[in-house]
Homo-oligomer: A and B are copies of this chain.
Amino acid sequence: MAALEWPIRAQSLKGVVLDMCGVLYDSGAGDGEAIPGSREAVQRLKRSDLQLRFCTNETQASREHFVAKLRRLGFDISVSEVFSPAPAAVSVLRARALRPHLLVCDGLLPEFEGVDQSDPNCVVIGDAAEKFSYQNLNEAFRVLMGLDRPLLFSLGQGRYYKETDGLKLDVGVYTKALEYACDVKAEVIGKPSQAFFRSVLGDMGIQPQQALMIGDDLVSDVGGAQSCGMMGVQVRTGKYRPSDESHATVRADGTVDDLSQAVDLLLRPRGQ
C-alpha cells in the first residue's frame, strides 16, 4: 500500500520537524488540549537517534510564552528548539533597515522589542485574531497606500486553523485582503517559505532529503517541506479534512491518524 511506503523511505532520515498546533495540541480556551499520545510521541523522538525541531507559524504569542504553554500541557520543549516567523521577520527587518507598522496580537509584541517602529515604511501582518477589526485593517491599508512602493510581510499564509470551539480564520486570509486592496504581493515569512524550512535544516546541519516534516496543514506544512526537498507527512488531527487526501496540487508522502502513529511507524523499523 502506498500509505505504508513512507516509513521505508524514512529509514535514511536524520531529523524530524514537527508542526505544533493541530499536531501536538488543539488550541482553544486557556492553553487548549494536548492531542492524545502526542506527549509520549515527542518523548520517543527525543530518546531516538533522530534530531528534532519544532516549526510553527504561531504568531499570537512570543516564543517564550508559547513554549511555556506547551510545557504546561506536559511537553518537553525548549525555546531553542522552536522556529517561528516573528524572530525570522525581525532578522529580515534589521537586514533591510525597515521600520514596520505591526498588525499583530499584543502577545507577539515582545518579539519586536527594540525594532524601530517610527515612521513605518512597511507592514508586518501576523495572526491578529480579534485584533483584525475593520479599523485596524484599514489602518494597515492606509500605511501601505501612503508608501511609494507598498511593502507587506506576512507571518505565514495559513487559511484557517481549528480551535476547540471551531475553525478560525488565519493570517493568510487578511494578507490576501491587503494584497488585493493595495495591488501588491506579500513576502511570506514562515511556512511554507523555503527560506524558513532551510533555516531549520541549517540548525540541524542536515540536507533536505534527510528530513521529514509532520504537520496538519497540507499546503503549508507538507507542500512547503516538499518544495524544499523534504518529505512531508500529514496527520488526521487539527485542521485536517478528508478532501486533503485528493488535493489538486499537493500530495503528502503519507497520511497518518496522529503524531503517535507517525512516530511509531517511523521508529519501529529503526528498532526504537
Binding site for B on A (CB under 8 A): 128-135, 137-138, 141-142, 145, 159-160, 166-169, 172-174, 176-181, 183
Ranked nearest first, the 8 interchain pairs of A and B with the lowest CB-CB distance are A176-B180, A177-B177, A132-B134, A173-B177, A173-B181, A159-B181, A176-B176, A130-B134
Contact A142 B167 (CB under 8 A): yes
Report the bound CA distance from A177 to B129 in whole Å. Answer: 14
User: Which one of B130, B177, B183 contacts A174 once the chains associate, using CB atoms below 8 Å?
Assistant: B177
| Contact residues in B for A132 (Cβ distance below 8 Å) | 133-134, 137
In the assembled complex, the CB of A13 is this many whole angstroms from the nearest CB of chain B, namely: 32
In the assembled complex, the CB of A218 is this many whole angstroms from the nearest CB of chain B, namely: 12
Each complex incorporates copies of this chain amounting to: 2
Report the bound CA distance from A134 to B183 in whole Å. Answer: 22
Instruction: Classify the interface of chain A: helix, strand, loop or mixed.
Output: helix
User: Which one of B145, B169, B180 contacts A134 once the chains associate, using CB atoms below 8 Å?
Assistant: B169
Report the bound CA distance from A79 to B172 in whole Å. Answer: 40
Contact A145 B167 (CB under 8 A): yes
Report the bound CA distance from A172 to B169 in whole Å. Answer: 17
Report the bound CA distance from A160 to B178 in whole Å. Answer: 11
Contact A160 B173 (CB under 8 A): no
Contact B169 A138 (CB under 8 A): yes
25 contacts between A and B (CB under 8 A): A130-B135, A131-B134, A132-B133, A133-B133, A133-B134, A134-B169, A137-B169, A137-B173, A138-B167, A138-B168, A141-B160, A141-B173, A142-B167, A145-B167, A159-B181, A159-B183, A160-B181, A169-B177, A172-B180, A173-B180, A173-B181, A176-B177, A176-B179, A176-B180, A177-B177
| Contact residues in B for A177 (Cβ distance below 8 Å) | 169, 173-174, 176-177
Report the bound CA distance from A167 to B139 in whole Å. Answer: 9
Closest to A178 in B: B173
| Contact residues in B for A166 (Cβ distance below 8 Å) | 142
| Contact residues in B for A168 (Cβ distance below 8 Å) | 138
